Homo-oligomer: A and B are copies of this chain.
Amino acid sequence: MEGINVKLVDNMGTDFRIFEAAKATLGGGTESNFKEGETDPTRLIKFLANERHVTPFRHPQVTFECEAPISIARQLGKHQAGFSWNERSMRYRDSVIDVFTPDMFRGRPTHLHDGSTEEDVSKEVAIDLDQFGTVSVEEIYSQAIKAAVTSYEVLVNAGLAPEQARFVLPQGMVTRWIWTGSLYGWFEVYRQRSSGHSQYEVREFARQLDGIMSELYPIAWEALKDTIK
């Protein structure tokens, strides 16, 4: 989706690494959880996921290059313990400013905690401007964004420090960051951000994350996802 992107940069380890780490921890011996001579990691990984023995899932690491509107990045950024986050600063610079425009403008829910309805209100008539006709939600949105970015540029050109001028930039401005975390850390991001309670744009991030992780760690990722209800 334009403005919401998760791109793999690098990763470390495989499903087999989790298996090896768990075996090293459990040691040889007669424990019921580890079978001597077992080479397929599937059974042990499922056991670890179900019993919430999560430490072996913390060794594989994945780095992503991400982009999202600021208000979406802020929700994602609540996951911090054990993550590394390196974001492009807007303080010093007047680089090109991208602002997010939703694919679909969603309706306001009756119960506020639902976030939004599934209804498309893009063409909703927002204001009747007498002789000029009416303006849609989509048009008001795009004009608001344009006006804000123009004000920013006028202010910077007039000599205002960018660090202050950016106060007028919209929260839909797209930001970019490099984000590194462990397999288990990414699972927690996915679990919390893929739920129906999350904003659609946040779920889109989770959806892209899911696609990449299930290719990198097919056994472990599925075993962890199976623990979500």
Contact = CB atoms under 8 A, between A and B. Distances in A.
Contact of A55 (B32, B86, B126, B163): B86
A113 B86 contact: no
Interface in A65-99: 65, 69-71, 74, 77-78, 80-82, 84-95, 99
Interface in A32-70: 32-33, 55-56, 58-59, 61, 63, 65, 69-70
Contacts of A25: 86-89, 177-178
B159 A137 contact: yes
A115 B91 contact: yes
A27 B141 contact: no
Given A59-B84, A77-B77, A155-B126, A117 B161 contact: yes
A163 B116 contact: yes
Interface string A96-138: 0001101001111101110111000100111100000000010
Nearest to A72: B167
Interface residues of A, number: 99
A143 B82 CA distance: 42
Closest 8 CB pairs of A and B: A167-B172, A116-B161, A144-B151, A126-B158, A58-B84, A12-B12, A80-B80, A92-B112
